[in-house]
Structure 1
Amino acid sequence: MDLKEIQNLIKFVANSGVAEVKLEMDDVKITIRTTLEGNVTETTYVQQMPNHTPLQQAVAPQQIVAAAPVAEVAPVVENSHYITIKSPIIGTFYRRPSPDKPMFVEVGKTIAKGDVLCVIEAMKLFNEIESEVSGKIVKILVDDMSPVEFDQPLFLVDPS
């Protein structure tokens, strides 16, 4: 049922003088209530019923569509000699262990393999993200306390 059909149904019920109409179809449930006095008040509830298709089939095309634009935006020509440290999980990015502590790393700081760069909170667990390379932090790509996605670039490191 499309929007035009719903609008026509509302007009029909308002003109018919009926106080309430309930309509249930395969994937839509609609309730329309009106008052029969001088001024007509319309209340419409449209509820989309759950689709019983398997979740894997419904989600897979969206994942493919969402992945394509990210791949096109990713190339960065001027930073080609830098190493990108990416998020290994989905969560909230924190640059410090707690609000009263100093930042783990700053731009220009030299890091070694195994140094903690940030913390990512996922499901109330705080995961320390350690560096897998040695070098110098060139750029921090994410703001503190921001949500991050899996494989999202977090830091640019100059390995030289």
Structure 2
Amino acid sequence: MSSKEKKKTLAWHETLEIHELTAFQANHLMGFKMMLPEVADPALKTLYSHTIAALEHNLKDLLGFYPLAPSYTRKAGQEDLTAFQAGHLLGFWKNAVRSYANSITEAATPQVRETMRKHLNAAIEMHAKAFNFMLERGLYPAYDLPKLLENDVKTAQKAIAL
């Protein structure tokens, strides 16, 4: 394909990155919207509102790529709160693993490094438990890319509409 020809589909790896960004932002958007009424500080409430608007914009942009994903199909459906809650938990542990892995590279004190290593291993275990919870209940179809992307679209649309 020449560089001037338009691609018919996205590459698999970029599709998966878009999935990760969409799932991460949609789950956090729902959480920020649920917490917004409870934020008392006016400046923090403004930051939450700006974050919500930015995430809605991001999700709308990302959803525009879904029709270009390989083997993508559209289907109607609903997700329940369990899927959001489990996805939020999974996203937390995934980011905890990343944060601890990065922090270990900054640890100069052996005791700090050992504590971070223990926390990292615990975060890896918790991530696996959250992942398996979702996989076993059909909430995270990790081995079915079209269904995974379909779930992203539903979750992002639900987060935007919340």
TM over 0.5: no
TM-score, with structure 2 as normaliser: 0.26
The answer to which structure, 1 or 2, has the higher relative contact order (CA under 8 A, 6+ apart) is 2
TM-score, with structure 1 as normaliser: 0.26
**When you count helix as a share of all residues, which structure comes out higher?**
2
Bigger radius of gyration: 1
